[in-house]
Amino acid sequence: MTPNLEQPKTIEELRNWFKANGYEPARTRFFAGVDVKSPKAFGIYKNEFGEFVVYKNKADGTRAIRYQGDDEEFAVHELYQRFQEEIINQQTRWTAGNQKSSSYTGFYSEEREHKATGREILLAIIAIVLSFILTFVFLKRYQANTGKDLQVLILYIPLAVMGLTMLACKSFLRGSSPLRDILSLPQKSKIRLAIFAVIIAIMIAVFSAGGRSGYYSIGNSLYYRAGNDWYYYDDDRFWTPAYNIPSSFTDSGWKDYRTTENYQGYYLPFENTDYYEEWHADYDSSSSGGWDHDDWDSGYTDWNSDW
């Protein structure tokens, strides 16, 4: 399901939001109004001094404090935004797992000698076509989520997956195994296949170094990347679309919101703008692919980072 975009401002509102949208704390490990002591938990609560504390208990049991102060709305905002990020992570990981399963299940059977039936041939053709389509769709969603321009990889990777699927289907129809068929290839074909695999791996590594969504800064100028779109914080203290992006942007310019001057209140958070809501809503509606809160797996969460 796609959560509504009306952001809660108090701990009680956040707790009700979780409940209304079907997100059980025991499953998601996000707790509103509870100081959880066990590992692997996000939460917010009000301590005995009247301060609002936003925390993360990591896998090893250590606690990272995201915020501690008297601003309840800001504290709730921090946890709510982290939860929205985790929804995207859950949807992406779930989609990737389902696509991998649907692309390859059933084609690595035990070796057997038989003549392929018309139905088996039709299933093999469908699997080959689907391997390309599913891989292409997954990469498009990955590109939209991270803002990385995959360029030629958006075509080469699906073609590579389709080639591997064709090999697997051929083995299936012959009652053989893919590994045996690969090992039986002529030496020159093995070398070409290895070179192709290395080229794809290098291209993935190069393009993976591209930018990701979030805050970027050069000097005193602040930008936000939302997928493939850029926004600039102008002199009138508003976020506006940016069309002339400095070529020197790299991952080294990426900033966490709390490590920029935004945290001291000099900037309006991009997450509070209509631009962010539109981008987030578009991604949710296009990427969930049938995922809902019952598919939540806390094992997908990164429990080793500070946030």
Sheet holding 221-226, edge to edge: 239-241, 229-233, 221-226, 214-218, 254-255
C-alpha–C-alpha distance, residues 155 and 153, integer Å: 5
φ/ψ of residue 269, rounded to 5: -60, 135
- CB-hemisphere CA count at 13 Å for 244? 1
The answer to whether the CB of 11 falls within 8 A of the CB of 51 is no
Annotated domain spans of the chain? 11-84, 106-208, 214-287
Tell me the C-alpha distance between 43 and 45, whole Å: 7
pLDDT tens for the chain, 307 residues: list them.
344 456 899 999 999 999 988 888 888 999 999 999 999 999 999 999 999 999 999 999 999 999 999 999 999 999 998 998 888 888 887 777 665 555 444 444 444 445 667 777 888 788 888 888 888 888 777 766 655 666 667 777 888 888 888 878 877 777 766 666 666 767 777 777 777 777 766 666 555 544 566 777 766 678 887 777 888 888 777 888 887 766 555 444 555 544 555 444 567 778 778 888 777 666 555 554 556 667 788 888 888 888 8
Nearest to 4 by CA among 90, 87, 100, 68: 87
Give the residue from 239, 246, 245, 250 showing the smallest Cα distance to 276.
239
153-174 and 118-146 are packed helices; what angle lies between their axes, rounded to 10 degrees? 160
Confidence (pTM): 0.42
